[in-house]
Amino acid sequence: MTGRARKERYERGVVVAAYGRPPGPLAAWLRPARMDQLAADAAEAAKRRAYQTHPDVVALRVEQVRTQVDRLCWAGITLGLGFTMTNVQAFAAAGSAAWSLPWLAAWLLDPTVSLVLLAILRAEQITSRYQVCTGPWVRRAKWLTLGATYVMNTWASYVAGSLSGIVLHSVPPLVVFVAAEAVTDLRDKLTEAVTAAFMTASAVNTPPSVHQPNPRRPKPTSAGGRRRKLFGDYLAEARAAWSPGVVITPAWVRSVTDCARGLSPKLAATLLSEVERSDANTATTDNDASAATPESEA
């Protein structure tokens, strides 16, 4: 068959199949190939989805987002605290001459408050990652430092009665306050996202019990796999430990066999009866022997 004839046959089979007529041999041959392609595409999609929903991949993506959130929040908080530094210095200087000692010392007030706030936020960054709850003094210290920064930053505007100044100098401290509260909650939720992804993946990847039934395990005879000691075992230990002259009491039985307190009286009574029976048999044997000796002499 030439190439032109093969092409005409192919087009005839496609046209016949397109108009709803029974497909030709070529169309019937093409259908399994299409199904194989779809199956391969589905397998590839499932493989990609399995990798995308893998807990390690999700954790990596969450860590990348966490890093971006931390950097942006730290940048905003640092810029906001830097903006408030000049107003806090002017509040602390209180009209002192420039470059005088009080004027220079006033520059230390804002870093003192800001460094404490940054230390608290840095510690919360670690505790929120591992979902460790902090005490009430942590939040109080954070609110105190933010409140002190807000008051010192807007005091001059309140005294002057400048509404625009109050709004202008209120925005940075409030943004820092909201960011400090929001970033902690965001870190906690990101950690919960990693945990939820791990739990979901574990539930999805767990094989059903129908396909892999659990094998029956033999029931253990006792704790630790050792055989349970019976009454005869305790009695044999007590019998082996007894010697003539030893007073048989429940306390002595417990000391040599390590049995329970409720079982020791019964063991002591049984062993005592055996000893008495053995002594009686021994005495009877001795009497019979002594009685037989005179008769033999006679």
Tell me what pLDDT residue 203 has. Answer: 61
Tell me what pLDDT residue 151 has. Answer: 93
Tell me what pLDDT residue 127 has. Answer: 86
Tell me what pLDDT residue 3 has. Answer: 53
Q: 227-282: per-residue pLDDT in tens?
A: 667 778 888 888 888 888 888 888 888 888 888 777 778 888 888 888 888 877 77
Q: What is the rounded average pLDDT for all residues in the chain? A: 78
**Could you tell me what percent of the chain has a pLDDT over 70?**
74
pLDDT at residue 29 is higher than 90: no
| Mean pLDDT value across residues 6-30 | 51
How far apart CA 13 and CA 15 sit, in angstroms, is 6
Angle between helices 163-205 and 109-129 in degrees, nearest 10 = 20
| Mean pLDDT value across residues 201-207 | 57
| 219 band by pLDDT with thresholds 50, 70 and 90 | low
Tell me what pLDDT residue 108 has. Answer: 93
More confident call, 8 vs 50: 50
Tell me what pLDDT residue 223 has. Answer: 46
More confident call, 276 vs 22: 276
pLDDT at residue 16 is higher than 70: no
pLDDT at residue 103 is higher than 60: yes
